Structure 1
Amino acid sequence: MAKMSTQVRNRSANAAYVVSAHAEHGASIITGLLAHNTYLPAEQQIDEATVERFLAWLASTLAHKSSAMVAAELAYVEEQADDPIVRSRRDEAARPLATCLSRVRSRVGAVLGNTGLPSYGLAEPPPRVPAALADYARVVVKLLGTNPRSQDDGIGGTFDTAILASAIEERLAPLRAALDELLEEQRQLEGAMITRDRVVGEWLDVYQGTAASFAQLCRMGGHHELGRRVRPTTRRTSGQEPPPADDTIGDVGGGGDGGNGDGGPDGPDGIDPRPDGSNVPAVAAR
């Protein structure tokens, strides 16, 4: 079952906290912001609809980018889940080919002696790595066809390079198909990772911009504590920390100057923790 990383889960939760704060406190914040109209000339005042539309735009933009981030993360995790299955098929296909090549090598050595092994690319034992094993087998098949030989093996049988080549090719085909499948899977995984990292980068820009804007508007509208709780601190932005551990978002109104009670700076911190984890301090998982 696909499962998001803790980092993405926390980032999504922090964004949802901001969106929820807007839903519950939007009207009150607007009232606080419009109070500033009292000392402004009429032509410089802002109307309620404009403020309401802007706050809704911040929340909608953040919600959209968070949904995209979660979808991209799950797509990447799902691609990762396919990888072990494909690798298992590759390993299963490699085993009979390795056995066949070992037997062919013994057969050639028994009939032609060790001096005959290099003529067919068999001087060294078959490699263990599946991709290298496939390359080894292709060379052997080619040389068996380039230097054909059919003779009595001295014990009532026939040594025939064409028969040996056919036996190898029969077992090589499944491994080549499995290697091609794995290569395609790796391309898809890389593509999913690139997409995920791009979408996360976009989310970072939007989260820092919308959450910081909303936090400052909360403070300007008299909701200092709420502004502190929604601001995009370093740890929240990087996904190292979930939202405030409470279910009382409806009780955080005005009062206080916000402080730095959770260890993060007030307002936007100017950080830009990218998907590769750069500029993000290592902390114990929560």
Structure 2
Amino acid sequence: MTTYRMYGWAVDADFPLHLPTDSDKPNLRLRLEELASQSAELPPGKILLDYQARGRRWYSVGRLPDGELTMRVYGLCDIFVNAERNSIRIALLPDADLGMAQVMATGTIPALLLYLDDIPVMHSSAVTCADGRTIAFLGRSGQGKSTLAALMCQQGAELLTDDVLPVVCQRPVTVAVGSPEVRLREAARALAVGSFRTSADARLVVPLRSEHVTMSERRLDAIFIPLPNRESVLEVFRLSKPEAHVSLMRYPRLLGWQDPKVIRTMFGLASAVADTIPVFGAKVPWGPPFRNDIASTIADAAARPDEVRIFGS
């Protein structure tokens, strides 16, 4: 059985994961099983998280008095976490694609565990630019985070992570290296150069980093919030501290938190980031084709955050 490396865990999984391998002794066990049927009710115990949108419930987390957790992803699976949070069972409904276990194991599950360990998680993709600055793209699903990360990598940046960005220290803001792949939507197929595969949720998964990285953590230098447009507008502008704080609270990796401890951690992160690093809005002309000056405009803003407010044209 293969052991994988993921955000500081050595993961022993009984199904394949597209992650770097690890020779350390496993400290997180993942097992896949079948869920005969699923309740439409909230999971048992105290509700820590309950995300509802567009007239339906998407996922919830309940904690029993003994510390065991159940995460219910409605219509897909129940995820059972033991009290020590080192053994997890992913129970998929019979008609669910087995590949969704990989999606849960590399995105939703580590985000949940990190939050409960007081490590806030931004819904971000991140790269280290050719000049050594580390930047993140923050936003909701479909907002262009992975696309911009892939564009930056085409111009010499190194991918740090896609979709899940743990903040392991808030002052200075320091982030953990994660997935070596980006997950692109079909509209960004032009960026899927070289080999790629299609995930269970119909994303084009492109490897953009070798397994060997020199550092497991990087200091974050800037955050960009993508604002795609079809009007050929390329404009990068710095947000005020209050604007940055609100934006950071808007895009956690998991939505619907009710646990006061997690909410306090999220507020602490928003304050630390707004106080110490620049946060930009990035109006980006969307492709394909993608303009060849997008990556350079973003890198220029990260390098000169205090010099001018607006970059690009």
Q: TM-score range by the shorter chain?
A: under 0.3
> TM-score, length-normalised on structure 1?
0.18
**Greater RCO between the two (CA within 8 Å, min separation 6)?**
1
Indicate the structure (1 or 2) with the bigger Cα radius of gyration.
1
Higher share in strand: 2
Higher share in helix: 1
> TM-score, length-normalised on structure 2?
0.17
